[in-house]
Amino acid sequence: MSKKQKVNDSQKKNLKKKNKSVFSQEDALDIQTKEIELPAEIKKQKITTKNVCQLLSQVATSKKNIIVPKKISKALLKLGNKKHKKDNNATLKNKEGNIIDVQNVTKYYINGNVINHILDNISLSIKKGEIILIFGVSGGGKSTLLNLISGLDRPNSGNVIVCDKNLPYLSNAKLTLFRRHHVSFIFQSYNLLENLSAYDNAETGSYLQRDHNKRVDIVELFEQFELKEEMNKFPSQMSGGQQQRVSIIRALAKNADIIFADEPTGALDTSTSKIVLKTLYEINQARNTTVIMVSHDPKIKPMANRIITIAQGKISNIQVNEKPIHPDEFYK
């Protein structure tokens, strides 16, 4: 094996580790690297943090690992994951009726001079009160998109306007406040606090809701999820499925503007999956809460207002359900 091959293999391994998304641990990478040659007109230009994403999109429009010249990787590394420098876009607000507006968003991950192009110039809008399913196979970019619109990650370029805040322009501290005040998360992993009971874990979600009038009855949620007898148990005393349900109760207890859920039924049996989806649907209907789910399970499509399919870093299709149906209808 040549020295160059050894370096490339090492880069691929490091890139795999680095690119595991916050939401999903299954964002598969295309490990076939391809070295690109810059066109003459781009070679003549000075590459900076301001124009690097635009120039890169001209030579790398598909989702794959690419080996780029050092001046491109250097500019991207300098750009990093920092907040965007303030400009006219910093104060953009949501369009009327929308709670999320994504505008021309691009996301790369970089290791050395190997770049993985995750999202390519994505744009979409989500209205307040919609149930959205982001659908697609593993590695298509759907979990990365969820990370960006939930404020867990920043794009390399573009605007992500959520609840009238352009997230890429917020500092880390302000992003934390945004997440605390506006969103709830249902992760694939439970993330329960081991020294707290199931009830106390759920109550941590309620504490983050500033508006006392919006706080919900936690005991009622435990009853809905058939866990009333487990309220005083610690995580180590519960099964994996029970812990997952407690983590979902915690998210619902916050009663946030938006609920983000990555494969919310992935680790659950059919009966519990029905309870989870039924609860999300009914909360959406009762409180006008926006629900955004990531899944590769086509069975849950009927409950969504829109199904946004992500493939190879792009939106490949948007399906509209004029009349979404209650999960009871497709979980008979």
- 3-state DSSP percent of the chain in helix, strand and coil, to 5: 40, 20, 40
**Could you tell me which residue, 108 or 257, shows the higher pLDDT?**
257
CA distance 118 to 106: 8
Q: What is the pLDDT of residue 40?
A: 67
Of 48-52, 193-197, 245-249, which gets the smallest average pLDDT?
A: 48-52
Report for 46-50, 108-112, 140-144, 207-211: range of highest mean pLDDT: 140-144
- Domain formed by 127-155+166-330, architecture: 3-Layer(aba) Sandwich (3.40)
- Alpha-carbon distances, residue 220 vs 204, 224, 226, 227, 256 (angstroms): 16, 6, 10, 10, 17
User: For residues 65 and 115, is the Cβ–Cβ distance under 8 A?
Assistant: yes
Given a cut of 50, whether residue 26 has pLDDT beyond it is: no
Given a cut of 90, whether residue 291 has pLDDT beyond it is: yes
- Residue pointed to by tokens 């519990």: 272
Q: Which residues make up the CATH 3.40.50.300 domain(s) of the chain? A: 127-155+166-330
Q: What is the pLDDT of residue 325?
A: 94
Given a cut of 70, whether residue 80 has pLDDT beyond it is: no
Report for 8-22, 40-54, 262-276, 315-329: range of highest mean pLDDT: 315-329
Given a cut of 70, whether residue 22 has pLDDT beyond it is: no
Given a cut of 90, whether residue 301 has pLDDT beyond it is: yes
Non-local (6+) Cβ contacts of 155 within 8 A are 105, 106, 107, 119, 148, 168
Q: What is the mean pLDDT of residues 72-100?
A: 84
Confidence of residue 120 (pLDDT cuts 50, 70, 90): confident
* Burial (0-12, 13-18, 19+ Cβ within 10 Å), 265: buried
Confidence of residue 48 (pLDDT cuts 50, 70, 90): low
CA distance 216 to 286: 12
Of 182-186, 208-212, 232-236, 295-299, which gets the smallest average pLDDT?
A: 208-212
Q: Which three-class secondary structure state does DSSP give residue 47?
A: coil
Q: What is the mean pLDDT of residues 24-42?
A: 52
Given a cut of 50, whether residue 66 has pLDDT beyond it is: yes
Report the chain's mean pLDDT, rounded to a whole number.
82
**Could you tell me which residue, 160 or 279, shows the higher pLDDT?**
160
Given a cut of 60, whether residue 34 has pLDDT beyond it is: no
Structure tokens at 169: 């322009």
**Could you tell me which residue, 157 or 60, shows the higher pLDDT?**
157
Dihedral over alpha carbons 217, 218, 221, 223 (to 10 degrees): -100
User: Does pTM surpass 0.75?
Assistant: yes
pLDDT digits (tens, 9 = 90+) for 206-248: 777 766 667 788 999 999 888 999 999 999 999 888 888 899 8
**Could you tell me which residue, 209 or 43, shows the higher pLDDT?**
209
Given a cut of 90, whether residue 139 has pLDDT beyond it is: no
